[in-house]
Chains A and B, each alone.
Chain A
Amino acid sequence: MHHLNESYFMRIRLLLAYVGLCMGAFCCVAASEVPPFHSVSFSSISYYADLPEPFGKTVIEVKFEQQSTIVASMAIRFGGRRYVVPYQLYGDLRRLGPPEVSIEKDAFLEQDHIQEFQVWFEYGDETGYRVSDDVPGCGQPCYVYLKPVLVLTIDDQGGVRVERKGLHPDLAVP
């Protein structure tokens, strides 16, 4: 009987110690906070690509307005020169995504010279486009979401033209 009581009180003490530890841990967690922070926006981002001649090492620079996602300026550098993309070609541009560069498929396969390349940016908000309702794993109706794109074509003289700005033609509101 004596041994039983001793064991019984030992268990109670262990339980209390455990509860105390837990409460202590809880108090510590409750007392700690995420330190206040302020996210600093990039003022400029540069993307590098190796393209066939005559472009070679090519850099795409994007500068943003201060503490904003609005594009302030864009420029392309290749062959030791810097070509500024005129602002009026792209205008108001927000929440720009990383660019993707494309060249003509045959030129890529033949490792040949190219006369121009394209830069694709996504920006802004997504818009849904209804596709086949019989797509496995997609709901009914089934939608694909795309963002508007800015497509620039840059030739070997540094000329820049806009191929598309906005939603895919099928998504654009008439």
Chain B
Amino acid sequence: MGSEDDGIFHQYLHKDHLGSKVALTDETGNVTAAMRYDVWGQRQDPRPQFCSEPTSCPLSPNRNWIQWANEEAPDWISNSLPEAMLAITPRGFTGHEHLDELGVIHMNGRIYDPFLARFLQADPFTEDSSTLNRYTYVHNSPLVYHDPSGYISVSSLLRTAASIAISVYTGGLANKTWTLFGSTIAANNAAATIAIGGAVSGAVASGTWEGAKWGAISGLLSYNVGQAIGEVDWTSGDFAGSGMSGAQFAAKSVGHGLAGGVVSHMQGGRFGHGFASAGVGAAVSPYAYGGEGGNHFSRGMLVAIAGGGASSLSGGKFANGAVSAAMAYAFNSMSSAGSGSSGRSNSETSIGFNFETEGLERFQLAVDEFGIEEMFKEILPAGEHVIDVRIDASINEMSYRGSAILVNPDFVSNRPLNIVASSIGHELIHVDDYMRGRLNFYDEASRRRSEHRAYSWQSTTASHFRLPIPYRNRLMDRIREHASP
């Protein structure tokens, strides 16, 4: 705002997407002054018509721009658009103060030389271990990021964090069924959900449509790797609480690494960087379940940090690795989670039991007598499920390991058939939670939630199984014990 003898007039400073001051307009919108900078912040004459001879435009010979670099104000500044603006503000590139006589920009924390495209002091913060040169400006990406403090690229950090958050959050969305304007939207088209989530995440991370495209591809690759690994008939096991055998777990990690490497390579990066970040992220994901109160979001963040670190160690960028690992984690979880939720009618689901030893005929009898398979066709994720049933005399009644059910043979042989059947259903609820990525054996909070759900299921189906009064009351005790604190 300025003042004239005859009153008050307003002027408006305009800035571009990086916060650089680029134009001054009057109250009617006419441009009264302008500034222009090259990508690294050197001043340019904003009037393209001024440079009539290409030889006088050495830094941009094909365009009619004149550079103002590291010297006193050139002749063209006089009586030109920049002069009017300089009279109002010394601030220019990314909103920082230009010291034109010295040819540098004061970025508060440090002094930046737009001619060298480097800071004149070292960065005291190692924001990104891939950027070992502490004099670089915003990771050499001046069109995307800016440095408000002179120390770190806040925009870069925010973009990375937002991208990871979107990936992880989208992973959680696919496990749910939504109601919109009275219509139920089952997330049975997980691929579409993943593609959208990956695209948004990629777009936020890179700020480009190209990034959105690669985000969608990366998400779909991670999802398909998770599905492919899950469909293979592996030797059962529970490596690191993942519910997979060691071979399956290794294949999963390598599969995600390959997917990450391919995407990195197709984007013009190095295969090794993508392989390291996605592979390590997948490998550490079971360990991210540790700790009370851990949730899908916090685990995703831990996996992202691990992936980012792996990328840095392999010479890549931390941010890229973190985003890749977060995508692999979130969208792989979705592939495990399957589609839809409870109450879904699913004619494509089949359930069978694989008895590793004889002597469990009564187990199958209970399943048949009470229609367990039909009940759980509506509950388990779509697909063909063959549940391993193993004998383990050390457990009390029944238990689970990943997608396998462990049974005490005495329990199955001697207890009433309705109790056995209801207990089988209890364990299948755990299997369902495991298949949907909601249960990890080493995560106490997830175990408690699953027990709460399983005992609740037994209570609500008590009349179907004709459970006796003492049993129903005991179930209520168990529900209370496993309720959220």
A residues whose Cβ falls under 8 Å from a Cβ of B:
100, 102, 108-109, 118, 120-122, 129, 131-132, 134-138, 142, 144, 146, 149, 168, 170-171
Contacts and interface: CB of A to CB of B under 8 A. Distances in A.
Given A131-B456, A132-B456, A170 B470 contact: no
A136 B343 contact: yes
A137 B378 CA distance: 9
A129 B460 contact: no
Contact of A135 (B378, B410, B460, B473): B460
Nearest to B344: A136
Interface in B71-122: none
B342 A170 contact: no
A136 B461 CA distance: 10
A137 B343 contact: yes
A144 B378 contact: no
A134 B476 contact: no
Contacts of A122: 469
A142 B468 contact: no
Nearest to A143: B460
Contacts of A129: 476, 479
A129 B456 CA distance: 10
Contact of A120 (B414, B452, B470): B470
Interface in B28-81: none
B322 to A, nearest CB: 31
B379 interface: yes
Contact of B472 (A135, A146, A170): A146
23 contacts: A109-B410, A109-B414, A118-B470, A129-B479, A131-B452, A131-B456, A132-B452, A132-B453, A132-B456, A132-B457, A135-B456, A136-B379, A137-B342, A137-B461, A138-B456, A138-B460, A142-B456, A144-B462, A144-B476, A144-B479, A149-B473, A168-B473, A171-B476
Given A109-B414, A144-B459, A149-B473, A102 B468 contact: yes
Given A100-B470, A149-B473, A168-B476, A144 B457 contact: no
Contacts of A102: 468, 470
Given A134-B342, A142-B456, A170-B476, A120 B469 contact: yes
Contacts of B480: 170
Of residues B378, B456, B462, which shows the largest number of chain A Cβ atoms within 10 Å of its Cβ?
Answer: B456
B38 to A, nearest CB: 57
Contacts of A168: 473, 476
A134 B453 contact: yes
A168 to B, nearest CB: 5
Interface of B: 342-343, 378-379, 410, 414, 452-453, 455-457, 459-462, 468-470, 472-473, 476, 479-480
Contacts of A118: 470
Identify the 4 closest CB pairs spanning chains A and B, nearest first.
A136-B342, A131-B456, A132-B456, A144-B459
Contacts of B457: 132, 135-136
A44 B193 CA distance: 64
Nearest to A118: B470
Contact of A149 (B343, B459, B469, B479): B469
Nearest to B438: A134
A170 B478 CA distance: 11
A113 to B, nearest CB: 18
Nearest to A120: B469
Contacts of A149: 469, 473
A168 B410 CA distance: 30
Given A136-B378, A149-B473, A170-B476, A100 B468 contact: yes
Contacts of B452: 131-132
Contacts of A137: 342-343, 378, 460-461
Contacts of A170: 476, 480
Contacts of B378: 136-137
Nearest to B468: A100
A138 B479 CA distance: 15
Contacts of A132: 452-453, 456-457, 479
Contacts of A100: 468-470
Contacts of B343: 136-137
A146 to B, nearest CB: 7
Contacts of B470: 100, 102, 118, 120
B187 to A, nearest CB: 15
Given A137-B460, A144-B476, 19 more contacts: A100-B469, A100-B470, A108-B414, A120-B470, A120-B473, A121-B469, A131-B459, A131-B460, A132-B453, A135-B342, A135-B453, A144-B456, A144-B459, A144-B460, A146-B473, A146-B476, A149-B473, A168-B473, A170-B476
A146 B473 CA distance: 8
A120 B468 CA distance: 9
Nearest to A133: B456
A109 B455 CA distance: 24
B372 to A, nearest CB: 13
B473 A142 contact: no
B468 A131 contact: no
A62 to B, nearest CB: 15
A84 B429 CA distance: 45
Contacts of B461: 137
A129 B378 CA distance: 24
A108 B410 CA distance: 12
A91 B470 CA distance: 21
A160 B480 CA distance: 29
A135 B468 CA distance: 21
Contacts of A144: 456, 459-460, 462, 476, 479
Given A100-B470, A122-B469, A142 B460 contact: yes
Contacts of B472: 146
A122 B410 CA distance: 30
Contacts of B468: 100, 102, 120
Contacts of A121: 469
B481 to A, nearest CB: 10
A5 B414 CA distance: 79
Nearest to A99: B469
